[in-house]
Amino acid sequence: MFEVFESTESQVRSYCRKYPVVFSKAKNSEIFSVDGERYIDFLAVAGSMNYGHNNPEIKAKIMEYLSEDHIINALDMYTDAKEEFLLTFNEKILKPRNLNYKVMCCGPTGTNAVEAALKLARKNTGRTNVVAFSGAFHGMTLGSLAMTTDRTSREGASVPLTNVTFMPYDNSRLDSIAYLKWILEDDHSGIEKPAAICLETLQAEGGINVASVEWLQEIRKICTEHDIIMICDDIQVGNGRTGYFFSFERAGIQPDMVVLSKSISGFGTPMALLLMRPELDIFRPAEHNGTFRGNQLSFIGGTAAINYFVEHHLDEEVQKKAVIVEKFIQEEILPLDSRLSYRGMGLMWGIDFTEINPALALEAVHEGFERHLIMEVAGRKDAVLKLMPPLTVPEDILREGLAIVKASVEAALK
Ligand SMILES: Cc1ncc(COP(=O)(O)O)c(C=O)c1O
């Protein structure tokens, strides 16, 4: 059944090994195999389908655009699709949040926007070092990978990954704020002053580690005091995932740069953006060029997704669904074994098997798949079972999926 994939496609393929089936169709939070088997989606294509598969309101706009022979790719030339996206993003997302950012259209993947942020932070400050955090995931190209901590990914680089100093993330055994202050203030700390501090407010791949509001505010303060650029990687936890459009909103802070990708295009088509304070916008024309910096279908989908987010009050929806998930985990999952713990917010939750046996998280993924639920693992030793449905998941399917999570955890614990 998988012959052509196994004989022809590279060994590097990964997700397909966990979900060995040929998929064909998808609707909101359900995916269907070529045999018509139904699966509930608690992965949302790694956070790129926040608005649901084939969201009808977004799809209608894309179909309309396609049917009228509009331009599809245009490098970074001016198009009406881009104009409408920029206007909508500014009016409906940035302005209501008092955010004043220039928007840079990067190459289509998240990691390209991270690279752009790194280059621009270094160019602005004249410094090369950056601070990132243990548990971070920022992408697979060399600059982003240098800030990514998992060993398997780093080993893929085959060259030294340099110019990054790692600090412990919030809730580590070490007080990272005190440590950070010390390395910046001690002229014998031996660590170069960084151009930027790059962080996720909630480390997704790192195991659903939620930074506290106080910690985020302290980092913001340190960046301001020491003239360091604060970069927030909102690629996975932006676009409403945490119950806010931007994940940093809950801390009342404004990063100097923000990277967005995955669900920003609304429909699963590629797009990545770097947002920056206007005075940081110093790249010369073409200094971070690329062919695919402006997929017009992504602009059309992105505009429709913003309208969907605002009109359906998706942030409030997510906060309501968060209560359902957390209550279920507390009442139905944790009693299964006192060594289980959990973390999360919005529609991003993790069940941690570390204290029992890390391997059981993957076991639960397999058990879930048997029961037609798609989930992923995350974190150190892949010990965290990660739950991340589309934000638009209907409540009955959310509850159906959660019941399967329970059955899968039970089966893994046996
Ligand atoms: C937080 C974060 N940053 C960056 C990336 C890289 O994005 P991409 O895979 O589109 O290059 C990811 C991907 O999962 C991510 O979760």
Predicted local confidence at residue 173, as pLDDT: 84
126 and 17 in one domain?
A: no
- Cβ of residue 111 lying under 6 Å from some atom of ligand 1: yes
337 and 201 in one domain?
A: no
Residue 406: is its pLDDT beyond 90? Answer: yes
67 and 47 in one domain?
A: no
* Confidence (pTM): 0.98
Predicted local confidence at residue 375, as pLDDT: 98
Q: Are 95 and 310 in contact (CB under 8 A)?
A: no
Predicted local confidence at residue 147, as pLDDT: 98
Closest residue by Cα to atom 16, ligand 1, is: 236
| Residue range 135-176, pLDDT digits in tens | 999 999 999 999 999 999 999 999 999 999 999 999 888 899
| Residue range 198-244, pLDDT digits in tens | 999 999 999 999 999 999 999 999 999 999 999 999 999 999 999 99
- Cβ of residue 233 lying under 6 Å from some atom of ligand 1: yes
Instruction: Report the distance separating Cα 46 and Cα 89, nearest Å.
Output: 23
Ligand 1 geometric centre to CA of 233 (Å): 9
What is the atom index within ligand 1 of the atom nearest the CA of 270?
A: 10
In the numeric block, the tokens 């998988």 are attached to: 2
For strand 348-352 and strand 384-387, is the pairing parallel, antiparallel, or unpaired? antiparallel
Instruction: Report the distance separating Cα 138 and Cα 147, nearest Å.
Output: 6
For strand 23-27 and strand 30-33, is the pairing parallel, antiparallel, or unpaired? antiparallel
Residue 30: is its pLDDT beyond 90? Answer: yes
Across residues 322-336, what is the average pLDDT?
Answer: 98
Domain with 127 in it: what CATH number?
A: 3.40.640.10
399 and 279 in one domain?
A: no
375 and 299 in one domain?
A: no
Residue 254: is its pLDDT beyond 90? Answer: yes
**Of 280, 187, 295, 164, nearest in space to 227 by CA:** 280
What is the atom index within ligand 1 of the atom nearest the CA of 203?
A: 1
Pocket test for ligand 1, best of 43, 106, 133, 137 (most atoms within 8 A of CB): 137
Predicted local confidence at residue 1, as pLDDT: 82
Pocket test for ligand 1, best of 138, 259, 376 (most atoms within 8 A of CB): 138
- Cβ of residue 131 lying under 6 Å from some atom of ligand 1: no
Predicted local confidence at residue 294, as pLDDT: 84
8-state DSSP, 264 = G
- Cβ of residue 408 lying under 6 Å from some atom of ligand 1: no
Please, which pLDDT band fits residue 19 given cuts at 50, 70 and 90? very high
Instruction: Report the distance separating Cα 392 and Cα 216, nearest Å.
Output: 28
What is the atom index within ligand 1 of the atom nearest the CA of 112?
A: 11
Across residues 376-405, what is the average pLDDT?
Answer: 98
Please, which pLDDT band fits residue 325 given cuts at 50, 70 and 90? very high
In the listed set 250, 285, 311, which residue is the last one of a domain according to the structure? 311
In the listed set 311, 346, 366, which residue is the last one of a domain according to the structure? 311
- Cβ of residue 137 lying under 6 Å from some atom of ligand 1: yes
- What percent of the chain lies above the pLDDT cut of 90? 99
- Cβ of residue 139 lying under 6 Å from some atom of ligand 1: yes
Closest residue by Cα to atom 7, ligand 1, is: 110
- Cβ of residue 261 lying under 6 Å from some atom of ligand 1: yes
Tokens of 71: 């331009």
229 and 95 in one domain?
A: yes
- Within 126-271, residue ranges assigned H as helices are 142-146, 151-155, 176-185, 213-226
- Cβ of residue 247 lying under 6 Å from some atom of ligand 1: no
Ligand 1 geometric centre to CA of 273 (Å): 12
What is the atom index within ligand 1 of the atom nearest the CA of 200?
A: 1
- Mean pLDDT rounded to a whole number for the chain: 97
Ligand 1 geometric centre to CA of 102 (Å): 21
Q: Provide φ and ψ at 38, rounded to 5°.
A: -100, 135
- Cβ of residue 236 lying under 6 Å from some atom of ligand 1: yes
324 and 231 in one domain?
A: no
Q: Based on the structure, what is the number of domains in the chain? A: 2
Predicted local confidence at residue 172, as pLDDT: 87
Domain with 22 in it: what CATH number?
A: 3.90.1150.10
Please classify residue 86 by burial: count the beta carbons closer than 10 Å to its beta carbon, then call 0-12 exposed, 13-18 middle and 19+ buried.
middle
Closest residue by Cα to atom 4, ligand 1, is: 138
What is the residue range of 350's domain? 3-53+315-413
- Cβ of residue 143 lying under 6 Å from some atom of ligand 1: no
140 and 43 in one domain?
A: no
Residue 179 CB neighbours (<10 A): 15
In the listed set 262, 288, 311, which residue is the last one of a domain according to the structure? 311
Q: Provide φ and ψ at 204, rounded to 5°.
A: -85, -65
Sign of the C-alpha dihedral, residues 151, 168, 252, 143? negative
In the numeric block, the tokens 């960046």 are attached to: 223
Instruction: Report the distance separating Cα 139 and Cα 309, nearest Å.
Output: 26
| Residue range 284-311, pLDDT digits in tens | 999 999 999 989 999 999 999 999 999 9
- Cβ of residue 352 lying under 6 Å from some atom of ligand 1: no
- Cβ of residue 116 lying under 6 Å from some atom of ligand 1: no
| Residue range 334-383, pLDDT digits in tens | 999 999 999 999 999 999 999 999 999 999 999 999 999 999 999 999 99
DSSP helix/strand/coil, 319 = helix
Please give the torsion angle defined by the CA atoms of residues 379, 380, 382 and 383, in that order, rounded to the nearest 10 degrees.
Answer: -90
Ligand 1 geometric centre to CA of 151 (Å): 16
327 and 189 in one domain?
A: no
| Residue range 59-109, pLDDT digits in tens | 999 999 999 999 999 999 999 999 999 999 999 999 999 999 999 999 999
Q: Interior CA angle at 338 toward 337 and 342, to 5°? A: 90
389 and 297 in one domain?
A: no
304 and 205 in one domain?
A: yes
253 and 173 in one domain?
A: yes
Residue 225 CB neighbours (<10 A): 11
